[in-house]
Amino acid sequence: MIKKLIRSILGRGKAAAAESAEPAKKSRAKAVAAGGKIDPDVLGPKQHGIDPALVSPNAVRVTQTLQEAGYKAFIVGGAVRDLLLGIKPKDFDVATNATPEQVKQLFRRAFIIGRRFQIVHVMFGQELIEVTTFRGASAEAAPKDEHGRVLRDNTFGEQHEDATRRDFTINAMYYDPASQTVLDYHGGIADIRDKKLRIIGEPEARYREDPVRMLRVVRFAAKLKFTIDPASSAPIRVMAPLIDNVPAARVFDEMLKLLMSGHALACLQQLRKEGLHHGLLPLLDVVLEQPLGEKFVSLALANTDARVKEGKGVSPGFLFASLLWHQVLEKWRAYQAAGEYPIPALHLAADDVLDAQTEKLALQRKIASDMRDIWAMQPRFERRVGKAPYKLLEHLRLRAGFDFLLLRCQSGELDAELGEWWEAFIAGNGAEREELIARKPADPAGSNAGPKKRKRRGGRSRSKSPVDSGSSDGSIEQEAAPASVKTRAPAIQETGEAAGEPADSGTGEAPKRRRRRRGSSAAGADSAPAGDD
């Protein structure tokens, strides 16, 4: 009886606490809507449970320097959220009532950046602390585009206004390392405990101000395993097209954060669930519905997540090359079916996919170059004769290309024997490598080889058109490379010899044939596509 009484009392206490919390949330919401001042909940060390050892000493140094100069200063945003969850933050942001110019004067290595809203980067060795000035209430006169997105807003204000300007309740808390107190303006502590993502203010208006918030809510939901508040989720599918109006560089930065969050696969699944993936990675939904494509992308993202969790580096070029590979593969096969040779077809397919993505994601030149290298290496892995494997060992992107090959083998796109052969070749010594090359491959042509070129029997060689002479590109399978190509590149010559093309016989006709080869080579040099070397 006593136990039942205690349980009933505790149950009523929890219910009463929940009932009392609801009016508090409603009153905050009204205050936000009316633009009034909000008093924060102040939580001490025992209430919030933050471990000071998880706080960056440099972040503490920044807040202390600002406070000693007479300014307010707090660690803010995602760092506070992670500290409350017991996670060591990767980045630390500081909010203050000092202006960017005043902040810059206090630190030796400080730089003011940003157009839409100025912030200060304070550098301590390799660590960067981002310092922002409290933002004021959004001014109606602030420049906006025709869809309502704020283009520039350098309005400074009070701390409670800054809290209202932040996107989600769990990101609107302020931690003071000196007093070890947390200021909670919008019920963020309660939402963290409930594992709920809730946007501050009216969701539709907040998404219209900055459509990138729709991507952020997806990233946080997948990373933290939180549920999105129904009111915050409802407008996303309808307002998703607004992301097209955001500068491509900002979308790319947000996508990179999403894919390198350590929960990339969960993020992409959440993007599809919310209807946000169409404009970001075109045809990704189609790829994920194909058995081989889904397995390949899932393996690539799982490997990326594992590396992030282990603290290892991740190559954006490798990541995007994996996500877009099946689009390249589809176009590659289409170009070959239309009569193109494998290597030119691969380059054309890569151009098509990268051109389509650059409009949406503003892929940096270095990343696009890495993607091209990884894709272009794939047919070269299928050439396991002569000196071709040794030459591939010298490629600067060998490791990335080999890892990509292993993904293709693991997903079932290629025979696992090819990956095993290259793994042994890379790790082997000279004798072992010679033995591997002498061993006849199970399928030297590879799965993506184009149609074989027929060997001409006898007779004098016919003159080649520029298109024909330009087709000798070092493709995977060429039984009889034109004689004109043999004088252009040693790698192509090796391919011709390995395919069984006889060397010059040394007869009296040899000089005549050499003259013909030089003429044909010169005729097709400009029109010939670049090989994969």
pLDDT attached to residue 515: 43
Which stretch of DSSP H or E encloses residue 337? helix 316-337
Give the separation between CA 514 and CA 493, rounded to whole angstroms: 15
Give the separation between CA 304 and CA 283, rounded to whole angstroms: 21
Angle between helices 248-259 and 212-224 (to 10 degrees): 0
CB atoms within 10 A of CB 80: 28
Whole-angstrom CA distances from 7 to 21, 385, 474 are 21, 77, 78
The tokens of 279 are what? 């404009």
Contact 383, 476 (CB under 8 A): yes
Active-site residue identified among 41, 51, 82, 91: 91
Asked whether residue 434 carries a pLDDT value surpassing 70, the answer given is yes
pLDDT attached to residue 381: 96
Give the separation between CA 501 and CA 493, rounded to whole angstroms: 9
Active-site residue identified among 82, 162, 167, 532: 167
Give the separation between CA 349 and CA 351, rounded to whole angstroms: 5
Active-site residue identified among 82, 93, 305, 532: 93
243-247, 258-262, 384-388, 465-469: the lowest-pLDDT one: 465-469
Q: What is the mean pLDDT of the chain?
A: 78
State residue 46 phi and psi, 5-degree precision.
-70, -30
- pLDDT (tens digit, 9 = 90+) per residue, 384-424? 999 999 999 999 999 999 999 999 999 999 999 999 999 99
> What strand order describes the sheet that includes 127-133?
41-43, 181-184, 173-176, 73-76, 92-96, 127-133, 119-124, 110-113
Is this model's pTM higher than 0.75 or not? no
38-42, 335-339, 431-435, 441-445: the lowest-pLDDT one: 441-445
pLDDT attached to residue 188: 95
Q: Which residue has the higher pLDDT, 254 or 444?
A: 254
CB atoms within 10 A of CB 308: 17
Average pLDDT over residues 437-443: 72
- pLDDT (tens digit, 9 = 90+) per residue, 449-472? 444 444 444 444 444 433 333 333
Contact 84, 173 (CB under 8 A): yes
pLDDT attached to residue 100: 94
How far does Cα 269 stand from its chain's mean position? Answer: 15
Angle between helices 264-274 and 212-224 (to 10 degrees): 130
Average pLDDT over residues 189-210: 94
93 is a catalytic site residue? yes
Q: Which one-letter DSSP state was computed for residue 290?
A: S
pLDDT attached to residue 273: 83
Confidence label for 280 from pLDDT (cuts 50, 70 and 90): low
pLDDT attached to residue 498: 36
- pLDDT (tens digit, 9 = 90+) per residue, 75-114? 999 999 999 999 999 899 999 999 999 999 999 999 999 8
Name the amino acid, one letter, at 269.
Q
285 is a catalytic site residue? no
Asked whether residue 304 carries a pLDDT value surpassing 70, the answer given is yes
How far does Cα 226 stand from its chain's mean position? Answer: 22
Mean pLDDT comparison of 51-60, 136-145, 317-326, 363-372, highest-scoring range: 51-60
